[in-house]
Amino acid sequence: MPTAWILALALCVQAAPSSRNTWEKEYAKGTPESFAATFEEPSRALFRYRAAMAGLMQIKPGMAVAEVGAGSGYLSRYLVEKVGPTGRVIANELEPKMVAYMNERAARDGVKNFQAVEGQAASTGFEPASIDAMAVVYAFSFFDQPDEMLKSMNASLKPNGLLLIVDVPREGIDSSASGMDAEEVVALATAAGFTRERENGIVPGHYALIFRKKQI
C-alpha cells in the first residue's frame, strides 16, 4: 500500500467525530431577536404546544423549575406563570448572546423570578439538588456529551425530581438531520440514574419522555 494511502487512513482513524451541536455556527448567522422570531413562530409545534409541555412537567406554585438549552426562553417564560410569584425559573443556554437576550427580555417585562445562565457542554450550571422539574426541548439530540449532561441534570434535581425530554426520532428522516430515537434516550437516562415514568406524543412530530430521579 502506498505511503500516502497509509497516512490518509491514519488521519481518518484519528479524526474526531463531528459535533452534534451545530447551534454555535447557526447563532453566528443572526441576532437573538431573529432567532426568537423563528423559535416563537406561532405555527411552530414546539411553541404552540408549550402549555402541553408545561402540563407534562406537573408544575405547582412555588416550585423551582428549569430548562436546559432554552434558546429564546419561550417555554421558560411560560413556566414562570405556572410557578407563580413564590416559585422560580432558571434557564441555561450555551450561546452567551441568547443568555443575555433572555435576561434582558425578562427585565424589560418585569419578570423577577426568572434567570438565564450560561451552561456548559457537560454541565447544567444549576446548583445541586435545587430543581423540582426540568425540561429539555429539542436540545438533547444536539448534546455532544449526553451521558455527562444527564448526570449533571440528575445532580441538579431534587430527590424524585422530574425530567421532561422532548425531541424528534431518527427513524424515517434524512441521515444529515438532527434527532435521536426515544429508545436511545431512555437507555442513556436509565444509566444516569433516572426511571422512565411514561411517554407522551402530544407534541406533533415529537416524543415527550417523562423521567424521575431515582430515590436512593
pLDDT tens per residue across span 193-216: 999 999 999 999 999 999 999 876
Confidence category of residue 50, pLDDT binned at 50, 70, 90? very high
Indicate if the pLDDT at residue 20 is higher than 80: no
Position 201 scores a pLDDT of: 92
Of 200 and 7, the structure prediction assigns the larger pLDDT to 200
- Any idea where the domains of the chain sit in the sequence? 20-213
d(CA 5, CA 20) in angstroms, rounded, equals 29
Q: How many residues does the chain have?
A: 216
Q: Is domain 20-213 classified as CATH 3.40.50.1820?
A: no
Provide φ and ψ at 211, rounded to 5°: -120, 160
Report the share of the chain in percent with pLDDT over 90: 80
Confidence category of residue 8, pLDDT binned at 50, 70, 90? very low
Confidence category of residue 40, pLDDT binned at 50, 70, 90? very high
Q: How far is CA 72 from CA 77, 116, 140, 144, in A?
A: 9, 10, 16, 21
